Amino acid sequence: MKLIVITAPWVVAQEAQLINALFDAGMSCLHLRKPNWNVDQFDKLLRDVTPAFYQYIVLHQHHVLVDELKLKGVHYPEYQRLKTPPALISEHRKQGLTVSTSIHNITSLADTSAFDYVFFGPVFNSISKSDYNALPIEAVKDLPKGQGPEIIALGGINLDNLSGALEIGFDGVAVLGHLWMEPEKALERFKRLQTKLRYEFGQTD
């Protein structure tokens, strides 16, 4: 079961140190998402992260840094995926990068066969966005497993509803607001999520 952490889109105090601490605690995949940041701000944050962890970091913006710093992969938000040539996605994968995207409707899954995994949501009412309410998700239960990209639940994930999201049929979860709305509690909350996943589902990756 995947447990993916997405960064807060806003500035977090001592963020690089906290990211390092999360990796030290066992975080296996971080999505760096800062829609309003320029490439220099991305570069500065990444340079403050321990280089040994670069192999676990996926970028939502400024993909040029992926090759430069030997990062894990690239993410295409839905609007960007729709205008990205399929050949570029294939090239990323030939380079050994993971490639992910986002969908907000299960029917869109048919357009994502070239991707490794997709974020689907919001599964629950968002913690970080007050007007970002849950989508119907019953269709996920009926999707054939082992075909196409993995489906990662996004939106409102916390310790209380984590099990429910995975029991629906998702291949993993992505967390954002549960950690970053109170960054001083982020490390402890991550550890509790990780422990619950391991206890109930056997492993995290």
pTM, two decimal places: 0.92
Q: What is the pLDDT of residues 110-133, one digit of tens each?
A: 899 999 999 998 888 766 665 655
CA distance 66 to 61: 10
- Average pLDDT of the chain is 91
Q: What is the pLDDT of residues 165-192, one digit of tens each?
A: 888 888 999 999 999 999 999 999 999 9
pLDDT at 17: 98
The 3-state secondary structure of 32-89, one letter per residue: ECCCCCCHHHHHHHHHCCCHHHHHHEEECCCCHHHHHHCCCEEEECHHHHCCCCHHHH
From the options 3.20.20.70, 3.30.565.10, 3.20.20.80, 3.60.9.10, give the CATH code of 2-201. 3.20.20.70
With 0-12 / 13-18 / 19 or more C-beta atoms within 10 angstroms meaning exposed / middle / buried, residue 86 is: exposed
47: left (phi over 0), alpha (psi -120 to 50) or beta: alpha
At 118, list the tokens: 């997709």
Nearest to 186 by CA among 63, 5, 2: 5
Task: Determine contact, residues 75/58, Cβ cutoff 8 Å.
Answer: yes
CA distance 186 to 195: 14
3-state DSSP assignment of residue 187? helix
Nearest to 151 by CA among 169, 124, 125: 169
Domain spans, the chain: 2-201
CA distance 32 to 147: 27
